[in-house]
Structure 1
């Protein structure tokens, strides 16, 4: 598959090793693309998204993301994992997790909200760029991170929210997290009691933390710069896709900026407005093609193409395959 890098970002290469470890432990046939990303420092989020959904279709196993997260090791989180482990208490570790989360997933930010009684940690990724399994693994990895790497065995979650519709057996999730789990919610998030922030971490080491913080800051500077403008741009493109108002002049007005300023911003990221639009269309195309109830004509309209043939030409440029070929390949995986 041709790689199109959008602000939707990349993921840390250790996550590829996590999937490899799960497949090896369960004797699951390795997807070809999973073998290709082994030993890479980072790879595109689109690849991560497709790998998770390919495994989900292949195995047809409830709450697969929760099972995969059980195999996470500290190395799969890179310097961020070791940095958080060196902190004195959970509040400090979460602050580092928030500051350097892009080292794990360079895309939409991790959102922290706190009041007197609650701490809410949310994953600010548009629903169209997620599935149940992508949200499962993000939340479950953080939960395993609390328990096994920070050695906080008595993590008491108040609530876990997922954006997608409830599966047949929701009790799997309640047993796993030990709290109420809601579905079809606006945001994927976990809710914890505020008092948990003072829990001490067994391996606190201030000297090590200083060294790792410096390393994390260096790595963070090497990532493409993601700004609030990027997030607003993505939302504007998503809203205008079906209205076929995807010219840069119209989008600039929606963002309350000038065309020249928007072009300069995109140029600073080595991309163009049209490349950003195509990256979003490609991600959505993969998602829509996995829905057997959507015709190719309907998908073309959802992506803002006036004709199905235009969608087919674009898709072949992205993947070297027609939409029909890609759909047949990904819907023909027989569940076990």
Structure 2
């Protein structure tokens, strides 16, 4: 069974936000079987199922089961400067959705996000792949509200959702509607955010004009300590886009290639190492969570031909991609 993970840094944010709502962190952690010592770690992963239990415990401890939704709205977008950099090169909303999916999975794996067009409206449909293992209603509300906040941040005050859909029955849709300033409907076929299709044609450059992006990127680069992590976060959408040259990344940050290389060297790594690590992670995810052929995965990861991908994969994991997929699926 695939084990989906959540970043410990993001868990710390979640617990801090829930405590700010007046909830007892120790009781919540105990209910979710999470050791408080994990919150002292600056990196690492924890099972998504435990985070889902934490969200459920938070809603049960609240007078109204909206603690998870408020937490989602308050969660900071991880590396907002990185998000701006990645979004700026996106040609339309569909590409932005795929980029956001990569970002969401970097923070909490097992997240599905798709764009569906229907008449004059579009839906950003959202689900968690581990939801069949546990009641994840609270987790869904938290993640959906975080996505709602992300759209607001990306598109500005002029963006409005037409409706928010919840798969599960929820007795406090009126209160959640007031929180989001948007109609909320429960017992739908999917969790989704519905809005006007005119947003489907917005480009990343319109969301983040080039001059503002260069200034923001340069400032982000100067103040950010974990530059290697920042670059690692933007690589998945760049890999899918087929534009992974160091020159392109340096241009996105508004700095010279040598400056970028020097900063990475000071962190004990290099751009080629980060790119290889990103491809490793994406290769494993695609082998486990998709039905794509080895040739298609090779193409998505930017390899010129499948044979090169297979050789690289054997060097990384001492197995061919097909052997690894069969082993992971229990064949």
TM-score bracket for the superposition, by shorter chain length: 0.5 to 0.7
Please say if residues 159 and 181 of structure 1, whose CA atoms lie closer than 8 Å, have aligned partners that are also in contact.
yes
Please say if residues 113 and 124 of structure 2, whose CA atoms lie closer than 8 Å, have aligned partners that are also in contact.
yes
Aligned to 1:221: 279
Please say if residues 74 and 146 of structure 2, whose CA atoms lie closer than 8 Å, have aligned partners that are also in contact.
no
Superposition TM-score, scaled by structure 2 size: 0.58
Equivalent residue in structure 1 for 2:58, among 45, 55, 72: 55
More helix by share: 2
Please say if residues 99 and 236 of structure 2, whose CA atoms lie closer than 8 Å, have aligned partners that are also in contact.
no
Please say if residues 151 and 202 of structure 1, whose CA atoms lie closer than 8 Å, have aligned partners that are also in contact.
no
CA–CA distance in structure 2, aligned partners of residues 206 and 136 of structure 1: 34
CA–CA distance in structure 2, aligned partners of residues 215 and 124 of structure 1: 20
Aligned to 2:44: 41
Equivalent residue in structure 2 for 1:123, among 116, 121, 126: 126
CA–CA distance in structure 1, aligned partners of residues 287 and 280 of structure 2: 18
Aligned to 1:112: 115
CA–CA distance in structure 1, aligned partners of residues 46 and 278 of structure 2: 15
Equivalent residue in structure 2 for 1:143, among 132, 144, 148: 148
Superposition TM-score, scaled by structure 1 size: 0.57
Alignment of 1:183-332 (within 5 A): 183-197=186-200, 198=202, 200-202=206-208, 204=210, 205=213, 208=217, 213-214=234-235, 218=275, 220-223=278-281, 225-227=284-286, 230=289, 265-267=325-327, 269=328, 272=330
Unaligned runs of 5+ in 2: 219-229, 240-274, 292-320
Please say if residues 9 and 107 of structure 1, whose CA atoms lie closer than 8 Å, have aligned partners that are also in contact.
yes
The alignment partner of 2:43 has SS state of coil
Residues 122-169 of structure 1, C-alpha deviation per residue, up to 9 Å, x if partnerless?
123365344321111111101111223x251122112211111121x3
Alignment root-mean-square deviation, CA: 3.7
CA–CA distance in structure 2, aligned partners of residues 156 and 47 of structure 1: 33
Please say if residues 131 and 164 of structure 1, whose CA atoms lie closer than 8 Å, have aligned partners that are also in contact.
no
Unaligned runs of 5+ in 1: 1-5, 233-260, 274-336
